């Protein structure tokens, strides 16, 4: 079993996690659905440090909300700057979702499927150019 973890997950016993899972995918960060600001997950460093300490295979994920090519490129650069040199056996992933299902009030929520896909491809292609394979 592979689990994904973020700020919303409190882990009190990493040894038990190491004994129970095949790997963890840790949220690196996200782009604010209101602000558009690229932001670290508040527990990214803690989760990454613990996973390394217990030698748990790991990957990262990022929650993009780009609405322009420049923003998608900035998201890719942020990801690259933070994963370059990391041993990520489980890779890099993009978690693209509608932020506010009821009102679709997130800045990227009203993108068409085609536009959302275009921005995800921009991120993936830019990461690929850096030598990093990513998926959605």
38 with 29: CB under 8 angstroms? yes
CA–CA distances in Å: residue 37 to residues 31, 67, 129, 135: 5, 12, 23, 22
Using one digit for the tens of pLDDT, what is the confidence trace for 113-123?
A: 999 999 999 99
111 with 57: CB under 8 angstroms? no
How far apart CA 104 and CA 67 sit, in angstroms, is: 14
How far apart CA 105 and CA 133 sit, in angstroms, is: 31
Using one digit for the tens of pLDDT, what is the confidence trace for 67-108?
A: 999 999 999 999 999 999 999 999 999 999 877 667 777 788
64 with 72: CB under 8 angstroms? yes
């Amino acid at each position: 079993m592979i689990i994904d973890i973020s700020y919303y997950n409190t882990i009190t016993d990493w040894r038990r996690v190491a004994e129970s899972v095949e790997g963890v995918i840790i949220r690196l960060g996200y782009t604010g659905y209101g602000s558009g600001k690229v932001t670290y997950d508040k527990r990214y460093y803690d989760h990454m440090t613990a996973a390394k300490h217990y030698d748990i295979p790991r990957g990262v994920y990022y929650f993009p909300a780009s609405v322009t090519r420049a923003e998608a490129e900035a998201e890719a650069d942020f990801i690259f700057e933070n994963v370059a040199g990391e041993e990520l056996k489980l890779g890099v992933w993009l978690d693209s979702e509608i932020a506010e299902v009821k009102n679709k009030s997130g800045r990227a929520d009203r993108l068409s499927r085609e536009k959302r896909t275009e921005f995800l491809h921009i991120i993936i292609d830019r990461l690929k150019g850096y030598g990093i394979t990513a998926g959605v």
